[in-house]
Amino acid sequence: MRIVAMTPEYAADIATWRYPAPYQRYDMTEAAPLLDPVNGFVALVDGGELIGFRSFGPDGRVPGWRYDDAALDTGGGLRPSRTGQGLGRRALAVGLAYGRERFAPPAFRVTVAADNERALKVVGSSGFVRVDEFAATTTGLRYVVLVRTEG
């Protein structure tokens, strides 16, 4: 499993991914945001197959919380057919290793939907500590903010 540059082909593929309930909120319908350098998206491949993505920067932020630059925000996802197979921890570790090498942040921060028990389990077992919970100003959904200090 490794990180590679996001390509138009990978972005177009990700824009077709559809997750089953209750994860359909993670469906992306457009490739353009995945290709915008400001959003910091990269592709996660395994054996030549696109299996997921990571983002580093503002894409990992949810409106309604006071974010700062004390940590690098990161987010990500797996191809729907690859979820629930125990790949999350490894995918996150590969993403964090890339982020550490590329950005050298003092800490990483993730913002996870409060009802996404699978993601909360993965980040919790990867050294992230819960620092807050809030309601998104756009949807009212509850989110948990977790931080992992580096070094």
Domain boundaries, the chain: 2-149
Whether the Cβ atoms of residue 141 and residue 113 lie closer than 8 Å to each other: yes
- DSSP, collapsed to helix, strand or coil, labels residue 22 as coil
Rounded percentage of the chain residues whose pLDDT exceeds 90: 93
Q: What is the pLDDT of residue 100?
A: 98
- Whether pLDDT at 141 is above 90: yes
pTM over 0.85: yes
Q: What is the pLDDT of residue 112?
A: 97
- Whether pLDDT at 40 is above 90: yes
Q: What is the pLDDT of residue 22?
A: 86
User: Does domain 2-149 bear CATH number 3.40.630.30?
Assistant: yes
Tens-digit pLDDT profile for residues 67-105: 999 999 999 999 999 998 999 999 999 999 999 999 999
- Name the one residue in this structure whose structure tokens are 């993730």: 110
- Whether pLDDT at 24 is above 90: no
Whether the Cβ atoms of residue 94 and residue 78 lie closer than 8 Å to each other: no
